[in-house]
């Protein structure tokens, strides 16, 4: 069976990665999500094993020691996030394309590992003010984590040109059509 390839949507938190990812999953049956591990607490609508594998700090550290992560990062007040090798391999070996929703540094590491077998799309917010508005409207952050996420966003935006393509998520449908076009092209490449 032909091995699948990796697609990364990378963007500062609140830009719209998860929204765009959901739209992709509706259009592409051959695309599967890589469920990351994290030590942050689940949000109200999040399910263990579906959105993330929610782990204690100790469980996460054990996985680091066992070499279970392709990459991992610590941010937002000590919370850890990591891509599990087993998640990615499971899908690739079954011939699926795998979608990763991860932040900038992790995405750079994954791109280094997979090279041309990986499409990395950097999604940019129209402005920091609009990003702040989206995070506020989403209603998932307290003032402290909102400020941390915005601070980190400013730094992350400086890495945009390290990725295969930059897409601005201003109007959602327009941004999605651009994402979809890039994904279709990548899927059809040998
Ligand atoms: P991320 O996964 O990057 O953290 P989300 O997909 O959760 O971001 O989006 C953050 C918030 O912004 C959500 O409430 C989402 O509905 C909203 N959103 C996403 N894209 C747009 C857009 N183009 N215009 C307006 N709101 C958007
Ligand atoms: P959130 O807490 O909003 O779900 O995610 C915060 C940030 O962590 C987002 O930018 C998200 O893409 C990123 N993230 C999620 N999973 C991983 C992962 O496995 N590795 C890395 N490096 N970042 C991740």
State whether the beta carbon of 40 lies less than 6 angstroms from ligand 2: yes
- Measured by CA distance, the residue closest to atom 10 of ligand 2 is 103
pLDDT tens per residue, range 116-125: 999 999 999 9
The ligand minimizing its distance to the Cα of 179 is: 1
Which CA distances in Å does 13 have to 28, 38, 103, 129?
24, 15, 8, 13
**Ligand 1 close to Cβ of residue 36 (< 6 A):** no
Question: Ligand 2 center to residue 79 CA distance, Å?
Answer: 10
Tell me the CA–centroid distance for residue 183 and ligand 2, in Å. Answer: 21
Indicate the DSSP class of residue 118: E
Contact 72, 64 (CB under 8 A): yes
Give pLDDT < 50 ranges for the chain.
none
Helix (H) or strand (E) holding 174: helix 172-188
Q: What pLDDT score does 1 carry?
A: 59
**Which of ligand 1's atoms lies nearest the C-alpha of 138?**
14
Ligand 1 pocket, residue 18 CB under 6 Å: yes
Q: Is 136 left (phi over 0), alpha (psi -120 to 50) or beta?
A: alpha
| CATH number, domain 6-187 | 3.40.50.300
User: In a mutational test of the pocket of ligand 1, which residue from 17, 18, 19 has the highest number of ligand atoms less than 8 Å from its CB?
Assistant: 19
Measured CA to CA, the distance from residue 55 to residue 120 in angstroms comes to 27
Distances (CA, A) of 152 to 9, 11, 40, 66, 134: 17, 11, 17, 29, 15
- Strand pairing report for 36-38 and 79-84: antiparallel
- Is the Cβ atom of 82 under 6 angstroms away from ligand 2? yes
For ligand 2, atom 15, the nearest C-alpha belongs to 102
Could you tell me which residues are beta bridge partners of residue 100? Answer: 8
pLDDT of residue 115: 93
Confidence (pTM)? 0.93
Ligand 1: which residue has its CA nearest to atom 12?
A: 134
Residues 6+ apart with CB under 8 A from 151: none
The structural domains of the chain, with segments of one domain joined by +, span 6-187
Handedness of CA 6, 51, 29, 101 (dihedral sign): negative
Check if the beta carbon of residue 68 is closer than 8 Å to that of residue 85.
yes
């Amino acid at each position: 069976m032909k091995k699948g390839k990796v697609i990364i949507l990378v963007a500062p938190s609140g830009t719209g990665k998860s929204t765009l990812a959901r739209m992709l999953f509706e259009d592409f049956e051959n695309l599967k999500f890589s469920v990351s591990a994290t030590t942050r607490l689940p949000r109200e609508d999040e399910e263990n094993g579906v959105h993330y594998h929610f782990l204690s700090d100790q469980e996460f550290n054990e996985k680091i020691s066992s070499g279970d992560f392709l990459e991992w990062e610590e941010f937002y007040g000590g919370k850890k996030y990591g891509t599990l090798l087993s998640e990615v391999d499971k899908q690739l070996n079954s011939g699926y394309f795998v979608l990763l929703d991860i932040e900038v540094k992790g995405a750079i590491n994954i791109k280094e590992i997979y090279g041309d077998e990986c499409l990395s799309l950097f999604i940019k917010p129209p402005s920091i003010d609009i990003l702040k508005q989206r995070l506020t409207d989403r209603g998932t952050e307290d003032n402290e984590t909102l400020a941390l996420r915005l601070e980190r966003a400013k730094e992350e935006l400086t890495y945009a040109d390290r990725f295969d393509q930059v897409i601005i998520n201003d109007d959602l449908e327009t941004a999605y059509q651009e994402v979809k076009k890039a994904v279709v092209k990548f899927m059809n490449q040998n």
